[in-house]
Amino acid sequence: MQAVDLTISTDKDKLDLEMTYAFLSQETPWAKGMPRETFDRAVAGSLCFGAYLDGTQIGFARLITDEATFAYLSDVFVLPAHRGKGVASALMSAIAARPSLQGIRRMVLVTTDAHHVYAPHGFTPLEHPERYMERHDPHVYATGQP
């Protein structure tokens, strides 16, 4: 399979929400244990991209954005059987080409080990990390609160 065989869509009705939720809440360190209600609210309030091969979803990316000035890229994944085949790159290219995202001043993301995936698409380390702050509750999913 090559990335050109893929279909990338922002149609939320096409998303395999069961698979996406299961993968994120069980297989990723950043969303492990996420309550389903939280996931559903996140999808509803985001611009979501699904990657499909022969109509089956094999990848996902979510942007929290106003589609004018800022976007936060989150929850990017490709199912293990399809990694290393250009799927993540195709998702990033589709995001970069989206008309409503043209002119975005800043798009950010957090990654522990996939810098090589994002760098070819213009992502760099923070120029001024000292300006960024966060409010982080690493145990929020363990409390059962949405």
pLDDT score for 2: 47
The pLDDT tens digits for 16-44 are 999 999 999 999 999 999 999 999 999 99
Q: Is 65 inside any structural domain?
A: yes
What percent of the chain stands above pLDDT 90?
A: 87
Closest among 66, 63, 65 to 75, alpha carbons compared? 63
Identify whether the C-beta of residue 16 lies closer than 8 Å to the C-beta of residue 57.
yes
Query: What is the span of the domain harbouring residue 13?
Result: 3-124
Do strands 56-65 and 70-78 pair parallel, antiparallel, or not at all (unpaired)?
antiparallel
If one counts the domains in the chain, the total is 1
Query: pTM of the prediction?
Result: 0.91
Whether the per-residue pLDDT at 14 is higher than 80: the answer is yes
Q: Does residue 138 fall inside a structural domain?
A: no
Tokens of residue 124, six digits: 């760099």
Q: In this structure, is residue 131 part of a structural domain?
A: no
What is the per-residue pLDDT across 38-73, written as a single tens digit (0 to 9) for each?
999 999 999 999 999 999 999 999 999 999 999 999
CATH number at residue 57: 3.40.630.30
